[in-house]
Structure formats: structure tokens, C-alpha cells
């Protein structure tokens, strides 16, 4: 257990990170410009943004998204997983994103 400056033990609160379902609810919430802004906050690569647009916002399967974009399913899955991880971390604790994803 970590200690504070005076040497007393302190308990750290576990950080609750948004789950994948909440991210997907937010991506599909219908507030397009707000979702665009939130995606920009996450600093995604163009590949990750493509995966989020097709799989998250347009609700395509990863197989269909890969076919439409002209990439392999493995590649699309990898981009989407990485994008979700970045979105979950960057959106954690942002009240307006959490509110829209309820």
C-alpha cells in the first residue's frame, strides 16, 4: 500500500474506466458534432478513426467494415480495439460524455 509524505499508508481508489458498451452508446447517441469533438480529443490515427466510424458509429460488423474499407478483418479488429482503448481512456471522467452514454 502506498504512503503519503508523512509515511502514513493511504488507500488509492480504483479508477473506473468506461466500458465498451458505454463507448458504443456514446458513438451512436445522435449528437454528431459532439461525438466528432470527443473523437478528436482521443487523438486517433486515421486508421483507428476509420474503424470507429464504420464499426462504432455506423454499427457495421468488423467483417463488413473490413470488406468495405478494403482491409483484412484482422487489421480492422486491431484498429478498432486500439481505438476503443484510446477512447475509453481519454473519455474517462468526462461528465458530458458519460451523461450522453447513459
User: Mapping DSSP to helix (H, G, I), strand (E, B) and coil, where does residue 16 land?
Assistant: coil
Backbone torsions φ then ψ of 9, nearest 5 degrees = -70, 140
Residue 38: is its pLDDT beyond 80? yes
Do residues 18 and 91 lie in contact, with contact meaning Cβ atoms separated by under 8 Å? yes
| pLDDT tens-digit map of 12-33 | 444 567 888 999 999 999 899 9
**pTM for this prediction:** 0.80
Q: What is the pLDDT of residue 43?
A: 95
Amino acid at each position: 500500500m502506498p504512503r503519503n509524505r508523512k509515511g502514513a499508508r493511504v488507500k488509492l481508489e480504483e479508477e473506473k474506466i468506461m466500458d465498451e458498451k458505454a463507448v458504443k452508446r456514446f458513438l451512436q447517441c445522435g449528437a454528431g458534432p459532439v461525438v466528432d469533438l470527443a473523437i478528436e480529443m482521443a487523438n486517433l490515427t486515421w486508421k483507428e478513426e476509420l474503424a470507429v466510424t464504420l464499426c462504432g458509429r455506423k454499427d457495421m460488423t468488423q467483417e463488413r467494415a473490413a470488406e468495405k474499407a478494403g482491409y483484412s478483418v484482422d487489421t480492422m479488429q486491431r484498429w478498432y480495439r486500439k481505438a476503443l482503448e484510446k477512447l475509453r481512456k481519454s473519455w474517462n471522467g468526462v461528465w458530458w460524455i458519460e451523461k450522453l452514454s447513459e
